Structure 1
Amino acid sequence: MTRKAPRHAEAERNDQALLEAAKKVLAVDGAHASVAAIAARAGVGIASLYRRYRSKDELFQHLCALSLDQWIQAAQRGLAHDDPWEGLAHYVGACVEFSGGSLGPLAGTIAVTDAMAAKFTRSDELMRELVERAHRAGVLRADAGTMDISLLIEQLGKSPLIEQLDRQGRTDLVDAARRARRRTIAIALDGLRAGHPPLPGGEPDPALLTGRWEHTPLDGASAPGRPS
C-alpha cells in the first residue's frame, strides 16, 4: 500500500479535526459560527486555513462534502452486513454518532456545489437500498421509509445533554452520556421493527429536508440539492 505524503496526511487530519470542530461550534453558534472559532477548536492555524481555502464558504462546502462521505461509508458498511436489520441498525447508529451537532445550520447559507449534490444523490441511493432490503426481508415496518429514518437520525444526532457537558468541560460525564444515548438509539430503532401499530399520517415529503438547502446566489439562480 502506498504511503501518503506527510503533507497530504496532515491535510486529512486537519480536515477531520475541522469537521468535528465545525459540528460542535455550529451546534452552539449556528450559521454565525466563525472560521476563527472553528480553527481554534480544531487546533488549526487560521493563516494556514486561508492558504488552503479561499473563503469561508469554500471551507464549509468542503466540510459538507466530507460529512456526506461519512454517510456514504456508513451505508456501504451497513449493506456489507449479511443481516438486513443489523445493516440498517448499523447505518442509523453510525449516522447518529457522527451527525451529532450536524452541519444543518449551514443549510441555505452556502451554495450546494456539484460535488455536494453528487454525494447527496449517492448517499440517498445507498440508504434507499438499505431500506428496500430491510423491507424485502420483512424486518422493517412497512410504513417506515427513508424520510422517516433521515428525520430520526437528525433528531437523535442532536444531544442537548452531551452538548451541555461538553461546554462545561465535564469529561468525567461525557462517556456516560454517550452510553445513555446509545440506549436511546436502541429504543428508537425498536420502533422501526415490523409488527408495530401504524404510524400517524403519511411519510414526510423529501422537500422537508431538501428545501432548507436552497440557496439564492447574487444572480438570483437557485442551486439544487442538499447534504445531510
Structure 2
Amino acid sequence: MTTRKDTAERNDRALLQAARDVLAEDGAHASVAAIAHRAGVGIGSLYRRYKTKEELFQRLSLMSLEHWNQAAEQGLADPDPWAGLAGFVRGCVEFGQGSLAPVAGIIEVTEQMRARSRRGDELLEELVRRAQGAGVLRVDVTAVDIALLIEQLGRSPVVDQLRKQGREDLLPAATRARRRLIAIALDGLRPGHAPLPEAAPGEELCSGRWSRE
C-alpha cells in the first residue's frame, strides 16, 4: 500500500532529478515551471517541498557534494591507487557532477554545503597524493585539474541533444561513445605524456566561483 510519505519521497526524487536535467539543458535560467513539468508534478507540489528555487538548488548542491564525497571515500578504500582514482572520476562523471556549475555565485552557500565541500577537497587531495606516490598519476596534475576535468566530462552535448530530439534509437551508441571519451581522458592522466601547458589552475576556478562577492 502506497502511503502519503512514499508519494512525497517519490515526488522529491523526481523533482531533484528533473532539476538536474533542466539545469543541464537551460543553465541558470532553468525555470520552476520547467522543473515541475519535467518531474510530472504541479508547481504547488514543488513549492510545498521547497519554498524557493534557491532552496531547491541548495538541496541539489548538497546531494551532489555528498555523492562526490562518497565516491572519493570508495576510491580511497580501493587498494589499487589508480583504480581508486579512475573509479572516482568515472563515478562522478556518470553522476553528472558539475551540472550545478551554472548556479555558482547565484545561490547562497550554506554551512552544510561549505563543510561537505571542504571534506570533498581533502578527499580528492588524498586521492591525488596517493596516486602520485604510487607513480600511477602524472606529477603535474593537481586536484583542481581533476575537479575541472570531471566538470567538463560531466555533460555530453551529443547525449543531451539526442534526448531533446527524442532519439532513443541513438542514445545507446552515444552512451558507449561517451565511455570511450572518458577512457581517453583518463589515459591522459597517466605518466609518460608531454608536460602540461600553462600554470596549474587555482582554487578560485572551483570553490571561488561559488562566492557572491
TM-score bracket, normalised by the shorter chain, equals over 0.9
Is the CA contact (8 Å cut-off) linking 1:78 and 1:88 kept in structure 2?
yes
Structure 1 residues 7 and 144: CA distance shift in structure 2, 3 A: farther
Q: TM-score, normalised by structure 2?
A: 0.92
Counterpart Cα distance in 2 of 1:68 and 1:82: 24
Please state if 1:204 is matched with 2:201.
yes
What code does the residue aligned with 1:68 have?
A: L
Q: Which runs of at least 4 in structure 1 moved beyond 6 Å after TM superposition?
A: none
* Superposition CA RMSD, Å: 1.8
Structure 1 residues 16 and 138: CA distance shift in structure 2, 3 A: farther
1:79 counterpart residue number? 76
Structure 1 residues 42 and 137: CA distance shift in structure 2, 3 A: same
Counterpart Cα distance in 2 of 1:6 and 1:101: 34
Is the CA contact (8 Å cut-off) linking 1:68 and 1:123 kept in structure 2?
yes
Aligned residues: 212
Residue among 171, 181, 204 paired with 2:168: 171
Is the CA contact (8 Å cut-off) linking 1:77 and 1:91 kept in structure 2?
yes
Counterpart Cα distance in 2 of 1:15 and 1:153: 26
Is the CA contact (8 Å cut-off) linking 2:36 and 2:43 kept in structure 1?
yes
- The C-alpha deviation readout for 1:129-182, integer Å capped at 9, x for no partner, is 111110111100011010111111111112110110010011111121111111
Q: Structure 1 residue 9: deviation in Å?
A: 5.1
Taking CA–CA contacts closer than 8 Å with sequence separation of 6 or more, which of the two structures ends up with the larger relative contact order? Answer: 1
Is the CA contact (8 Å cut-off) linking 1:134 and 1:140 kept in structure 2?
yes
Residue among 128, 131, 135 paired with 1:131: 128
Is the CA contact (8 Å cut-off) linking 1:22 and 1:103 kept in structure 2?
no
Is the CA contact (8 Å cut-off) linking 1:75 and 1:130 kept in structure 2?
yes
Residue among 101, 110, 135 paired with 1:113: 110
2:56 counterpart residue number? 59
Please state if 1:141 is matched with 2:107.
no
What code does the residue aligned with 2:195 have?
A: P
Structure 2's unaligned 5+ residue stretches are none
1:45 counterpart residue number? 42
Counterpart Cα distance in 1 of 2:189 and 2:6: 40
What code does the residue aligned with 1:143 have?
A: D
Q: What is the percent sequence identity of the aligned residues?
A: 63
Counterpart Cα distance in 2 of 1:129 and 1:6: 43
Is the CA contact (8 Å cut-off) linking 1:81 and 1:87 kept in structure 2?
yes
